[in-house]
Structure 1
Amino acid sequence: MTASNTLAPGLNTGTPAGQAAAQAGARPRRPLLPWAAGPAWFLAALVTWRWPDADDFPDTNLLAALFAAIGLGLLATAALRRLSARAPWAIALGLGFTVWEVAQAKLLWLPRPFFGTPQDLLDVFLTDWKRLGDSLLHSLGLLAVGYGIGAVLGVAIGVGLGRSPRFRYWVRPLIRLVGPLPPVALLPLAFVLIPSGRLASEALLALAAGFPTTILTWSGVAAVDPAYYDVARTMGARNRFLVLRVALPAAMPQIFVGLFMGLGVSFATLVVAEMLGVKSGLGFYMQWAQGWAAYPNMYAALLVMSLMCTGLVSLLFKVRDRVLSWQKDGLKW
C-alpha cells in the first residue's frame, strides 16, 4: 500500500499539501546506534567473566557485574531516547574496556606492574578510596584559594591597567618582569621566602591564575568604546559607575578567556607544588604511588585528577553562560 492510499480521498501527494500529509503520517525512524551501546558493555562483561585470567587478579566477578550493570543502564537510556548524542562514545568505551581486559588481564601483553588491568584500577577505588578522597579535597582546597585570589587580583589589576595611566605606568613594568615567568620556576624561591609550604603553593597558584587574567582584563577594558563612557558621563555617572557598569560588562568576554587560561596553568602548577612542597593532595599521592611502584594507584589518581579538572572547566563554562547570557547567540567558544 502506498502513502497516497492512506491519505484522505482526493488529496494528491504531488501537491505540497499532499506531501505534508504524507510526511505527517510517516513514522519517524529510530536510530539503531544507541541500542548498540548496551551490548558493547555486555561483551566486556562476558569476556571478563568467562575468559580465565592470566594471573590471580582481584574483583574479576565484581568488575564483570559492573560492566553488565552499565550495559543495562545504557539500554534503559536508549529506550528513553536520551543516548543519541553520546552513543558513539558509550560504544567506544565499552569496546575499549574489552580490548584492555583481553590484552592485559587475559593475555598479559604489557609488562607488569607498569601496566595494570581494569581489576587493579577497580581494586584501588575499593580499598583506597578514603585516601583518594582526602587527597581530592586537599587539592580542591588548595586550588580554590590560590585560583580565587589570583582571579580576583587579576581582574582588579587589569581594570587598573586599562583605566588609569598612572597605575599603568608603575605596574606594567612589574607585570612584564614577573608575569611571563613560569610559576613552577619560582618554587625554590617561594619556599625560601614563605615558611609555610601551603602558603607558598597558594601564592604560586595565585600567580599562575593572575597573570593571564590580568592581561586579558586589561585588553578587554582598553578596548571598550570611549563613546560608552561619554554617554554615561553625560547622564551623571561617576568613575565607580564607569568601572562597574560600563568597563567590566563590556570586557567580560575577554575576562572569561583569561579565567580559562589561568585555570589551565593553575592545574599544572598545582600538581608540581603538591609533589614538591605540600604533603597532601593528588600530586603528593601520585608521587607516593610512584615511590612504592603502586602504578594502579597512580593511574587512579590521574583519573580522579582528570575528572576534577573537567568538572571545574565545565562549571566555569556554566558560569560564563549565565553571566554572558545577554550575548549567548554570539558565543563561539
Structure 2
Amino acid sequence: MSRSHSTSLGLGAADHASPGDQATARRRILSRAPLPRVLPWAAGPAWFVAALATWRWPDADDFPDTNQLAALFLVIGLALTAAAALRRLSARAPWAIALGLGFAAWEIVQAKLLWLPRPFFGTPQDLLDVFLTDWKRLGDSLLHSLGLLAVGYGTGSALGIATGVGLGRSPRVRYWVQPVIRLIGPLPPVALLPLAFVLIPSSRLASEALLALAAGFPTAILTWSGVAAVDPAYYDVARTMGARNRFLVLRVALPAAMPQIFVGLFMGLGVSFATLVVAEMLGVKSGLGFYMQWAQGWAAYPNMYAALLVMSLMCTGLVTLLFKVRDRVLSWQKDGLKW
C-alpha cells in the first residue's frame, strides 16, 4: 500500500472519531512529513541569527546592553537546539522560529537602521535595560496589582455566585435583587469611578469595590442562568431521599450550574482587568497601571512597553490558572474550550 493511500485511509478513519481523536490522528500523520521533522532544528539557528546581527552589526546610536542582549539570544538559541535534540520542540517550533526572526528584524530595523521615530519606538536593548535596571519597581507594581485584583475579583466572584444562587432558588430574592441588578449591573464599572472615589474615602477600597462589581455582575447572571436551568427532577429525587435545602444548593444546584458559573468567572475576569488598569491610572497610586501612566508622563516609552509585557503575562497567567481549575472541576467535559 502506498504512503498516500495509507495517509488517506488514516484521515478517513479519523473523520469518524471524536474531535480530540481527530486532532491527535492528524498530528501523528503530519509528524511523518519531512518538513515538521526539520522545523525544530531551525528554531535555534533563527535565534543565532538574531544574536549575530545584534553583536556584529554596529548600532546606529549608543544603546545600552547590546552585548547582554546578544548573549541572551545566544542562550535561547542553545536552549532551543537542546530541546530539538531531545524532541521536545515539535509543536512549538514554528513559533520559536517566528519569534527569533521577529527579534532579529526588530533589532535591524530599529537599533541598526533607526527607521522608526524615537522615543516612541524603542529597541530590544531598551526593553532589556528596563528589566535589568527597574525590575524592583516593576515587581512591586505587579504585586500591588495582583493584591488589588485578588481582593476585588475574589470578593465579587463570591458575592456573584451567592447572588446567582439566590436568584435561581428564591422568588423573594429574585423580586428584590433583580431590579437592582438590572439598574446597576450593565453600567461599566469605570463609569462609576468618580462616584466611588467620592463615596469611599480610601482610593484602594473604592477600586476594590469597582473590581467586585465588575466581577460580580456576569458571575451572578450566569450562575442564575445555570441554577434556573437545573432539571426539577433532580430536586425531586433528592427530596424523596430526605435532602434539605442546604443539600439541594450545595450538592445539586451548584454542581449542575458549574459550567455556567465558570463562563461568568471568565467574563468577570476580563472586565476586572480593564477596571484594574483604569483604577490604577486614575486613583490608586501603585500598580502596573500607575507605572504605565508614570512612564508615559516622563516619555519613558520602554518602561511603558515593559509594563505592558508584564501585564500581558499576568493576565494570561491568571486566565490559564482559571482554565486549569475549570478543567479539574469539570473533568467530565471532554473536547471543551482550551486556552
In the alignment, the residues of structure 2 paired with residue 66 and residue 75 of structure 1 have an alpha-carbon distance, to the nearest angstrom, of 14
Matched to 2:147, the amino acid is: G
Task: Write out aligned runs for 1:134-173 (5 A).
Answer: 134-173=140-179
What corresponds to 2:282 in structure 1? 276
In the alignment, the residues of structure 1 paired with residue 33 and residue 311 of structure 2 have an alpha-carbon distance, to the nearest angstrom, of 41
Matched to 2:105, the amino acid is: V
What corresponds to 1:228 in structure 2? 234
Q: State whether structure 2 residue 315 is matched by structure 1 residue 331.
A: no
In the alignment, the residues of structure 1 paired with residue 337 and residue 226 of structure 2 have an alpha-carbon distance, to the nearest angstrom, of 17
TM-superposed deviation, 1:332: 3.5
In the alignment, the residues of structure 2 paired with residue 101 and residue 87 of structure 1 have an alpha-carbon distance, to the nearest angstrom, of 21
In the alignment, the residues of structure 2 paired with residue 198 and residue 149 of structure 1 have an alpha-carbon distance, to the nearest angstrom, of 14
TM-superposed deviation, 1:29: 6.9
What corresponds to 1:257 in structure 2? 263
In the alignment, the residues of structure 1 paired with residue 252 and residue 184 of structure 2 have an alpha-carbon distance, to the nearest angstrom, of 30
What corresponds to 2:5 in structure 1? none
Please say which structure displays the higher CA radius of gyration.
1
In the alignment, the residues of structure 1 paired with residue 195 and residue 254 of structure 2 have an alpha-carbon distance, to the nearest angstrom, of 34
In the alignment, the residues of structure 1 paired with residue 335 and residue 124 of structure 2 have an alpha-carbon distance, to the nearest angstrom, of 43
TM-superposed deviation, 1:105: 0.1
Question: What SS does structure 1 have at the residue aligned with 2:275?
Answer: helix
Task: Write out aligned runs for 1:80-229 (5 A).
Answer: 80-229=86-235
Task: Write out aligned runs for 1:32-51 (5 A).
Answer: 32-51=38-57
In the alignment, the residues of structure 1 paired with residue 155 and residue 45 of structure 2 have an alpha-carbon distance, to the nearest angstrom, of 48
Q: State whether structure 2 residue 103 is matched by structure 1 residue 70.
A: no
TM-score by length of 2: 0.89
Q: State whether structure 2 residue 291 is matched by structure 1 residue 285.
A: yes
Q: Which consecutive unaligned segments of at least 5 residues does structure 2 have? A: 1-31
TM-superposed deviation, 1:330: 5.1
CA shift digits 1:109-133 (9 cap, x unpaired): 0000010000000000000000000
Write out the 4+ residue segments of structure 1 that deviate beyond 4 Å after TM superposition. Answer: none
Aligned residues: 306
Matched to 2:163, the amino acid is: I
In the alignment, the residues of structure 1 paired with residue 272 and residue 239 of structure 2 have an alpha-carbon distance, to the nearest angstrom, of 39
TM-score by length of 1: 0.91
Matched to 2:334, the amino acid is: D
Q: State whether structure 2 residue 248 is matched by structure 1 residue 266.
A: no
In the alignment, the residues of structure 2 paired with residue 33 and residue 191 of structure 1 have an alpha-carbon distance, to the nearest angstrom, of 55
Q: Which consecutive unaligned segments of at least 5 residues does structure 1 have? A: 1-27
Question: What SS does structure 2 have at the residue aligned with 1:329?
Answer: coil
Matched to 1:68, the amino acid is: L
**Which of 238, 253, 276 is matched with 2:244 structurally?**
238
What corresponds to 1:21 in structure 2? none
Seen in structure 2, the aligned counterparts of structure 1 residues 111 and 279 have a Cα distance that, compared at 3 Å, is same
Question: What SS does structure 1 have at the residue aligned with 2:116?
Answer: coil
Query: Aligned-residue CA RMSD in angstroms?
Result: 1.1
Matched to 2:91, the amino acid is: A
CA shift digits 1:226-264 (9 cap, x unpaired): 010011011110000000000000000000000000000
TM-superposed deviation, 1:329: 1.6
Question: What SS does structure 2 have at the residue aligned with 1:224?
Answer: coil
Matched to 1:106, the amino acid is: K
In the alignment, the residues of structure 1 paired with residue 314 and residue 239 of structure 2 have an alpha-carbon distance, to the nearest angstrom, of 45
Task: Write out aligned runs for 1:306-325 (5 A).
Answer: 306-325=312-331
